A = this chain, B = another copy of it.
Amino acid sequence: MKTAVTEMLGIQYPIIQGGMQWVGTAELASAVSNAGGLGILTALTQPTPDDLRKEIARCRTMTDKPFGVNLTILPSINPPPYDEYMQAIFDSGIKIVETAGNNPKNFIGKFKEHGIKVVHKCTSVRHAISAEKHGVDMISIDGFECAGHPGEDDVPNLILIPAAASAVKIPVIASGGIGDGRAMAAAMALGAQGINMGTRFMCTVEAPIHPDVKAALLKATERDTNLIFRTMNNTSRVLKNAVSDEVVAMEKSGAKFEEVRHLVAGARGKVAIRSGDVNGGIVSAGMVVGLIHDIPTCKDLIERIVRECRESLRAASQMAA
């Protein structure tokens, strides 16, 4: 395939593995890159900047194709040493970074100095326009369907992709709600130059996720996600389970920030993803979980999506002729 995204990133297919905390390790990133997509290591999955350096080096031993690093910068009382993680990225010669969470104006200059292509994730047209103005190379636009942080506007991708594609000149990558070739074809018809998938890559052989959690994702339908932290204007879409149901109920009943935080503190995604205690933790998952029915290798998945995408476009073109 040939789009602005494949050309700019030097990859075969415009299929990007979303940056996922605890999931974006060398195993998954190298598998995606080896299959012709773009694998993404998640910087903060590594406990220290030095561990990130080692993970990047390890990933290089597993693939000679391009891969990127996600750096999600969120406001925090005790922030991780973001500057040191950035230094690890520079020192390791990484040339593609996915940023999220913060206004890119605060870091774009440093990335550009090091010749890094910046894919900035955002959830609204106004943030896409602002990010373009500050010099990012591509926008990854996250619709309401997506896992993790959809923002507070609740605009799904059928609207958000074409709105963003019309509003900016730089390439737009569609993120959220995409798990198969039909959705890839749709995203391209809507004006995207590529796709980003998180939840779908969680359900692959190479994803470092406990088999019981993968099984729970397969079982879930499109109605089996919850939006938590709405009352804190920090909405997150996660798998519906005992813990997230409880958070939703607490927020509905007017619980205070500290109470909800206390509940969640004991139920981090890390726990469930590693231990397999599906009802004991918070697991990010997008609505596309309802369209996921198997655990293929990344190679099989990407080949299938590329084939389905072409078939869908052929079938649609025939109808529209």
The answer to whether B185 touches A158 (Cβ under 8 A) is: no
> Which residues in B have their C-beta under 8 angstroms from that of A321?
1-2, 310
Q: Which of A115-169 contact B (CB under 8 A)?
A: 124-125, 143-145, 153, 155-160, 162-163, 166
Among the 9-residue stretches A48-56, A75-83, A283-291, the one with 4 or more Cβ atoms under 8 Å from chain B is A283-291
**Total A residues in contact with B, Cβ cutoff 8 Å:** 53
Instruction: Return chain B residues, CB-CB under 8 Å to A163.
Output: 222, 290-291
Does A106 count as interface, using CB distance less than 8 angstroms? no
Q: Mark A272-291, 1 if CB is under 8 A from B, else 0.
A: 00000000000000011011
A190 at the interface (CB under 8 A from B): yes
B314–A317 touching, CB < 8 Å:
yes
- In the assembly, what is the distance between CA of A148 and CA of B157, in Å? 19
A231 to B125, CA, bound (A): 29
Cβ contact of A159, chosen from B187, B291, B314, B319, cutoff 8 A: B291
Partner of A143, one of B153, B158, B316: B158
Q: Is A232 an interface residue (CB 8 A)?
A: no
Q: How far is the CA of A237 from the CA of B145 in the complex (A)?
A: 18
Binding stretch for chain B, among A65-73, A176-184, A295-303? A176-184
Task: Please determine whether A186 and B180 come into contact, CB atoms closer than 8 angstroms.
Answer: no
When A291-B163, A317-B313 are in contact, do A156 and B153 touch as well, CB less than 8 Å? no
Q: In the bound complex, what is the Cα–Cα distance between A288 and B159 (angstroms)?
A: 6
**A185 contact set on B, CB distance < 8 A:** 186, 189-190, 316, 320
Q: For the complex, what is the distance from the CA of A122 to the CA of B87, rounded to whole Å?
A: 53
Please determine whether B309 and A313 come into contact, CB atoms closer than 8 angstroms.
no
Q: Is A223's CB within 8 Å of the partner chain B?
A: yes
Residues of B within 8 A of A187 (CB): 186
Most buried by B among A1, A160, A176, A321: A160
A14, chain B: closest CB distance, angstroms: 8
Q: Which residue of B lies closest to A144 (CB)?
A: B156
Residue on B nearest A183 in the bound complex, by CB = B158
- What 15 additional pairs, Cβ within 8 angstroms, besides A156-B287, A186-B190? A1-B320, A158-B178, A158-B183, A162-B182, A162-B183, A163-B222, A163-B291, A182-B189, A182-B190, A182-B191, A183-B190, A185-B186, A185-B189, A185-B190, A188-B316
Could you list 30 examples of A-B contacts with CB < 8 Å? A2-B319, A2-B321, A3-B319, A14-B319, A125-B222, A143-B156, A144-B144, A144-B156, A155-B287, A158-B158, A158-B178, A159-B177, A159-B287, A162-B180, A166-B291, A182-B189, A182-B191, A185-B186, A185-B316, A185-B320, A186-B189, A189-B313, A190-B312, A309-B320, A313-B313, A313-B316, A313-B317, A313-B320, A314-B317, A317-B317
